[in-house]
Amino acid sequence: MTDLNKLYKQTILEHNRNPRNFGKPESWTHHAEGLNAICGDLVNVYLTIEEDVISSIAYDGESCAISMASASMMTEFIKNRTVKDALEKFELFCQLMAKGSDVKHIDDLAALNHLVTVKKFPSRIKSATLCWHAMAAAINGQATATTE
Amino acid sequence: MTDLNKLYKQTILEHNRNPRNFGKPESWTHHAEGLNAICGDLVNVYLTIEEDVISSIAYDGESCAISMASASMMTEFIKNRTVKDALEKFELFCQLMAKGSDVKHIDDLAALNHLVTVKKFPSRIKSATLCWHAMAAAINGQATATTE
Amino acid sequence: MLNNKNYRDQFPGLHQEVHGKPLVYLDNAATAQRPQVVIDAINDYYVNHNANIHRGVHSLSESATDLYENARKSLAKLLNAPSEKDLIFVRGCTEAVNLVAQTFVRSRVQKGDEILISHLEHHSNIVPWQLLCEQTGAVLKVIPMNDAGELCLEQLDDLLTDKTKFMSVVHVSNALGTINPVKEMVAKAHAKGVPVMLDGAQATPHLKVDVQDLDCDFYTVSGHKMYGPTGSGVLYGKAEHLEAMPPYHGGGEMISKVTFESTVYNAVPAKFEAGTPNIAGGIGLGAAAEFMMSIGLENIEQRDAELKSYAEQALLTVPGLRLVGNAKHKSPVFSFVIDGIHAHDIGTIIDHHGVAIRTGHHCTMPIFQYFGLAGSCRASFAFYNTEAEVDVLVGALKKAIAMFE
Amino acid sequence: MLNNKNYRDQFPGLHQEVHGKPLVYLDNAATAQRPQVVIDAINDYYVNHNANIHRGVHSLSESATDLYENARKSLAKLLNAPSEKDLIFVRGCTEAVNLVAQTFVRSRVQKGDEILISHLEHHSNIVPWQLLCEQTGAVLKVIPMNDAGELCLEQLDDLLTDKTKFMSVVHVSNALGTINPVKEMVAKAHAKGVPVMLDGAQATPHLKVDVQDLDCDFYTVSGHKMYGPTGSGVLYGKAEHLEAMPPYHGGGEMISKVTFESTVYNAVPAKFEAGTPNIAGGIGLGAAAEFMMSIGLENIEQRDAELKSYAEQALLTVPGLRLVGNAKHKSPVFSFVIDGIHAHDIGTIIDHHGVAIRTGHHCTMPIFQYFGLAGSCRASFAFYNTEAEVDVLVGALKKAIAMFE
Ligand SMILES: Cc1ncc(COP(=O)(O)O)c(C=O)c1O
Ligand SMILES: Cc1ncc(COP(=O)(O)O)c(C=O)c1O
């Protein structure tokens, strides 16, 4: 199977068909939008943080399949983690996806590791990390995260 | 004799050694400075115009041998001409010296025709025409003439 | 008739493989490929005439200056400008618009005055005016568009008010391909005494442009879009405006006399060309202009028309594909969306079939806000593209759709 | 030790004849020759990676973007900048100075505030400040110089007043070769809270520059003077300044969101790089930086020192020749005048012996006003010049003198 098929078939399309935690919730405590300046991708991330725990998380926006699937995966993965833990996982995920780095797998990231195939399409790495930047921005009280 | 020798030996150096009408006169009716923006050449031309005749003309400035010799020749040539005639000769001289033109001699210009050799050194054409632009500017009441 | 095959051979960038497939380059509106003559002109300058221009008495500097100034003449011929002195070399259209905004327009507007642009503008012809409005208190007005992606010209007369100090509109839309009736628009603006700039970034690669016939006050050209080097372009301005305008950048070349107390500016166009310019770029752009004239703009226009009708029909056979913008007069540029698949995913997938298109908002966010879209896929053609390449595009799109099923 | 012969071979522009004589290129301070690797890098982009950058998902656009961003990294390494994000690609030093004047400085000065420059500045570092002073009512102050062509540093503390909002000084003088003690000057300015820009146009071709060690707030680099393409250059700025500064040009790339009502700017450095940049130029400049690092700046500095002392001794054998400027620390640049012969005449005459020098005011009129001269002859060397070329220069000068006798 080509990288292209692997990327889309295995990892992405399933989440696109059955997005988890998609849609704007009725209430939240933290929110940020993620903007990809170059292509106009937009993801909103909504968090409810109670006593330092992310008790609920949702997303919406208009964005490509990679970005949407990554957000869907992220919400599943982050829900019920502490804020500190979430920010640590954000760092790990950025390392995994960093252009140029050879990291292929990070134990702590479990299912998210499939997304590493995106690195074969360098211009799309930002699609995969956009929601994560928005999540971190929301926690840090920033309204907007951009991936230049 | 090379063009270089021809230019300097025959035409230029004689006027440099014995400049005609050089120096700032005590009085004048019209004056303009000629500036060559690129190299910083400067020529001042001073005219006394009485009843439409250029009764006296002088120049000074800081400039290369070509420019100084051209000014020296110009003053000899222009003195006692009418304003109208002087401006016509200015046009003719510009035609003679125009980059790209093939004109090698203009009857009305007599001795000035020697300067056509300057055209073999295209970057120096402006040196030769600077004083003429200043003369025309002075007649037209402009303070400064620039040859870009 | 244009012998397409011959011209293709002259563009080395077209003859390569991407992911093991022959490149199908349909991103010409972003930047064109360059013919060998342009690349050669750049090389020739660096190898045989490498010197700075305008300031030297030595031979290399003279010949470099001649090459550069001859390039200006070629551009003047291409645009039918009254004189090459009416052309200022710039980095591209973006710099040209900023230059005019910060000199000509800034010196004429006051709080409450209006600047008129259109809904079809590229960000390059929006943001400089927003910056100017912030700086001066002027107000930005917009000529609206309709569902076809055409400007609503019937509203133009009303939008041109006593307060309108400048109008700047795009000649050909990079996102939708719409060719605006700019001559008519200039006439309407002039009737109200409003000077006009036309953004020609997408026009010069395709159309015969005659600035005297259009009677525009300023016209911008992006070199890299018309087969010339990156970092090259020209701004045409009517001589009377260029004379009257304050300078832009301060620096070498643009002055005739400097003291710490005061400075005398040089004559036009030097007044607007401070510092060492992109000499190789200017020379290469001149070669591009000569190349286009040697092909003949009418031949390019005809070839564009052929490609456009073939591509339009072919694209409409793709299931779920919807064209965005269908102006009556348009350039061979197609924006489209496909049901259920995001543009970026399409871009990535068809790239694996060798097809280079652009995806996103194409620096025209307001257009896509109008259509309620985040962006589109854009296939933009040049005269060197072929019908066979259209077929590859269409095949690749169908494969992308299959992948998402 | 630098094997000069090998490096000469890599510069195709050096191997040609002028008026039937081998070219002796001594106009390096105006613009340098480019090594084959730089020309090849430009070609490689146009032939193998020809696409627009940053905006595309297709492969060509990706590889073009990588090349361009890698070039930024090479420049960061050359200057020892903390991050390549601190570098903005510009057309050259002139644009860099104008950019800083109109953004960082313009947003900080008010009527009566002072901008401090020096008597050694190039017009590029004078006129932008004069324009700013006109626009804002700020006042231009000048650090004086002495007969050697060195700045009077003992006056610097007094010139840095409560009103001084910015200092901009040249690192190495293009007219006289003076190397200013810029690290010390930055420290003095910082002690008074004044941010400093250094004009590095003539420094980077010759010296190891470390922006962190200098601690300057801004540093300008002219690509075409450091063996890179025309129309290329970088502005280094401390990250905190670049973040805080308003944008310069409006256009594509520099925004993240545009509506007609408002605009969100992109992150640094994109915020300052509106429109399609000189992509080939940036890539070529990266190649020039790598080339210089591969030679080793310490080797270039050593070779400069050798050439300088040889040339100085040789020039002083020319009867009637007077050197203008004899700073203790200087670059291999010689300004001189010859009794009774105007510089332009010398330039024309020695060009006929194949020798290319510059004549005139070298865009530094105030320096020549100081010396009571209209200009000078300037012979400026690069590491690829040779002692034999110095001898040809001296011989040609003697012939020019003979001609005037
Ligand atoms: C319509 C239009 N205007 C302006 C621009 C900006 O031109 P440049 O890239 O030369 O700055 C572009 C290209 O991006 C364009 O398509
Ligand atoms: C000292 C100095 N500063 C600034 C400049 C202007 O640089 P650029 O040609 O890159 O605009 C030059 C070169 O002309 C220079 O020598």
Domain ranges of chain B: 3-146
Over residues C123-164, the pLDDT tens digits come to: 999 999 999 999 999 999 999 999 999 999 999 999 999 999
C44, C58, C142, C222: best mutation site toward chain D, by most D Cβ within 10 Å? C58
The residues, ordered by sequence, that sit 6+ positions from C164 with a Cβ below 8 Å of its Cβ are C113, C114, C115, C116, C141, C189, C192, C194
Q: Tell me the mean pLDDT in the region A34-58.
A: 89
- Which three-class secondary structure state does DSSP give residue D122? coil
Q: Among A35, A38, A124, whose Cβ lies nearest the Cβ of D55? A: A38
DSSP letter for D86, please: G
Alpha-carbon distance of D321 to D312, in angstroms, equals 11
Residue A120 binned pLDDT confidence (cut-offs 50, 70, 90): confident
Angle (deg, nearest 10), helices C93-100 and C127-136:
20
Query: Residue D4: its pLDDT value, please?
Result: 66
D21-22/D164-170 β-pairing: unpaired
Alpha-carbon distance of B116 to C39, in angstroms, equals 37
C256, C273, C276: best mutation site toward chain B, by most B Cβ within 10 Å? C256
Q: Specify the ligand 1 atom closest to the Cα of C172.
A: 1
Alpha-carbon distance of D371 to D325, in angstroms, equals 9
Nearest chain A Cα distance for residue D327, angstroms: 46
Centre of ligand 1 to C-alpha C222, Å, is 7
Residue D404 has pLDDT above 90, yes or no: no
| Contacts with C, D 4-33, CB within 8 Å | 12-13, 16, 18-19, 23, 25, 27, 30-31, 33
Residue D363 annotated to the active site? yes
Where in C130-241 does DSSP place strands (E)? 139-143, 164-170, 196-199, 218-222, 233-237
> Are the beta carbons of D118 and D169 closer than 8 angstroms?
yes
Q: Specify the ligand 1 atom closest to the Cα of D276.
A: 9
Let me know if chains A and B touch, i.e. at least 3 Cβ pairs under 8 angstroms: no
> Are the beta carbons of D368 and C74 closer than 8 angstroms?
no
Angle B137-B139-B140 from CA coordinates, rounded to 5°:
60
Over residues D217-262, the pLDDT tens digits come to: 999 999 999 999 999 999 999 999 999 999 999 998 888 778 888 8
Nearest partner of C142 among C134, C131, C125, C132, judged by Cα = C125
Alpha-carbon distance of A113 to A97, in angstroms, equals 9
Residue A18 has pLDDT above 60, yes or no: yes
Residue D31 binned pLDDT confidence (cut-offs 50, 70, 90): very high
Q: How many CA atoms lie within 13 A of D96 on its CB side?
A: 29
Query: Residue C126: its pLDDT value, please?
Result: 97
Q: Tell me the mean pLDDT in the region B6-31.
A: 89
Burial (Cβ within 10 Å: 0-12, 13-18, ≥19) of residue B79: middle
- Residue D88 backbone phi and psi in degrees, to 5: -110, 130
> Are the beta carbons of A90 and A136 closer than 8 angstroms?
yes
Alpha-carbon distance of D272 to D87, in angstroms, equals 10
- Which three-class secondary structure state does DSSP give residue B20? coil
Alpha-carbon distance of C336 to B8, in angstroms, equals 70
Q: Tell me the mean pLDDT in the region D30-54.
A: 97
Q: Tell me the mean pLDDT in the region B13-37.
A: 91
Lowest mean pLDDT among A97-106, C232-241, D21-30: A97-106
Query: Residue C358: its pLDDT value, please?
Result: 95
Ligand 1, pocket-test mutation among C118, C363, C365, C367, most atoms within 8 A of CB:
C363
Query: Residue D258: its pLDDT value, please?
Result: 83
Where in C184-327 does DSSP place strands (E)? 196-199, 218-222, 233-237, 255-258, 263-265, 321-324
Residue C53 has pLDDT above 60, yes or no: yes
Residue C173 binned pLDDT confidence (cut-offs 50, 70, 90): very high
- Residue D141 backbone phi and psi in degrees, to 5: -115, 150
Q: Which residues of chain D are at the B interface, by a Cβ-Cβ cutoff of 8 Å? A: 341-345, 348-349, 352, 359-361, 365, 368, 374-375, 403-404
Residue D47 binned pLDDT confidence (cut-offs 50, 70, 90): very high
Alpha-carbon distance of A56 to A46, in angstroms, equals 8
- Which three-class secondary structure state does DSSP give residue C382? coil
Query: Residue A93: its pLDDT value, please?
Result: 95
Would you call B148 and C267 a contact, using CB atoms and an 8 Å cutoff?
yes
- Which three-class secondary structure state does DSSP give residue D345? helix
Residue C4 binned pLDDT confidence (cut-offs 50, 70, 90): low
Query: Residue D29: its pLDDT value, please?
Result: 98
Query: Residue B39: its pLDDT value, please?
Result: 67
Give the residue with greater pLDDT, A108 vs C370: C370
Residue A62 has pLDDT above 90, yes or no: no
Residue C18 has pLDDT above 70, yes or no: yes
The ipTM estimated for the assembled molecules is: 0.93
Lowest mean pLDDT among A36-45, B51-60, D247-256, D379-388: A36-45
Q: Is A122 on the interface with D (CB under 8 A)?
A: yes
Alpha-carbon distance of C23 to C7, in angstroms, equals 16
Atom 12 in ligand 2: residue holding the nearest Cα: D201
**Where in chain C do CATH 3.90.1150.10 domains reside?**
4-27+296-404
Where in chain B does DSSP place strands (E)? 30-36, 41-50, 53-62, 144-146
Over residues B45-57, the pLDDT tens digits come to: 999 999 999 999 9
Find out whether the beta carbon of D276 lies less than 6 Å from any atom of ligand 1: yes
Question: Average pLDDT over chain C, rounded to whole?
Answer: 96
Over residues C183-234, the pLDDT tens digits come to: 999 999 999 999 999 999 999 999 999 999 999 999 999 999 999 999 999 9
Q: Tell me the mean pLDDT in the region D207-214.
A: 98
Which chains would you list as touching A if contact means 3+ CB atom pairs under 8 Å? C, D
Residue A106 has pLDDT above 60, yes or no: yes
Where in C252-295 does DSSP place strands (E)? 255-258, 263-265
Give the residue with greater pLDDT, B13 vs D363: D363
CATH code for D39-294? Answer: 3.40.640.10
The residues, ordered by sequence, that sit 6+ positions from D394 with a Cβ below 8 Å of its Cβ are D314, D315, D317, D318
Alpha-carbon distance of C91 to C99, in angstroms, equals 11
Question: Average pLDDT over chain D, rounded to whole?
Answer: 96
Strand partners, D166: D115
Q: What torsion, rounded to 10 degrees, do the Cα atoms D219, D274, C83, C109 define?
A: -100
Centre of ligand 2 to C-alpha C231, Å, is 18
Tokens for D72, please give them. 């930024």
For chain A, helix, strand, coil in percent to 5 are 50, 20, 25
**E strand or H helix at C73, and its extent?**
helix C59-79
D296 CA to centre of own chain: 19
Percent of chain A with pLDDT over 90: 57
> Are the beta carbons of D345 and B64 closer than 8 angstroms?
yes
> Are the beta carbons of B131 and B45 closer than 8 angstroms?
yes
CATH code for A3-146? Answer: 3.90.1010.10
Alpha-carbon distance of A54 to A25, in angstroms, equals 14
Strand partners, D218: D197, D237
Q: Specify the ligand 2 atom closest to the Cα of D224.
A: 10
> Are the beta carbons of D179 and D171 closer than 8 angstroms?
yes
D263-265/D139-143 β-pairing: unpaired
Q: Among D341, D365, D404, whose Cβ lies nearest the Cβ of B40? A: D365
Query: Residue C210: its pLDDT value, please?
Result: 98
Alpha-carbon distance of B87 to B78, in angstroms, equals 10
> Are the beta carbons of B49 and B29 closer than 8 angstroms?
yes
Alpha-carbon distance of B15 to B10, in angstroms, equals 10
Alpha-carbon distance of C271 to B148, in angstroms, equals 10
Query: Residue B37: its pLDDT value, please?
Result: 67
Over residues D325-355, the pLDDT tens digits come to: 999 999 999 999 999 999 999 999 999 999 9
Residue that has been written with the tokens 């110009």 in this structure: B74
Q: Tell me the mean pLDDT in the region C65-90.
A: 97
Would you call B144 and C264 a contact, using CB atoms and an 8 Å cutoff?
yes
Q: Which residues of chain D are at the A interface, by a Cβ-Cβ cutoff of 8 Å? A: 54-57, 61-62, 65-66, 255-257, 264, 266-267, 270
Query: Residue D1: its pLDDT value, please?
Result: 57
Residue D5 has pLDDT above 70, yes or no: no
- Which three-class secondary structure state does DSSP give residue C306? helix
Query: Residue A13: its pLDDT value, please?
Result: 85
Query: Residue D152: its pLDDT value, please?
Result: 98
CATH class name, domain C4-27+296-404? alpha beta
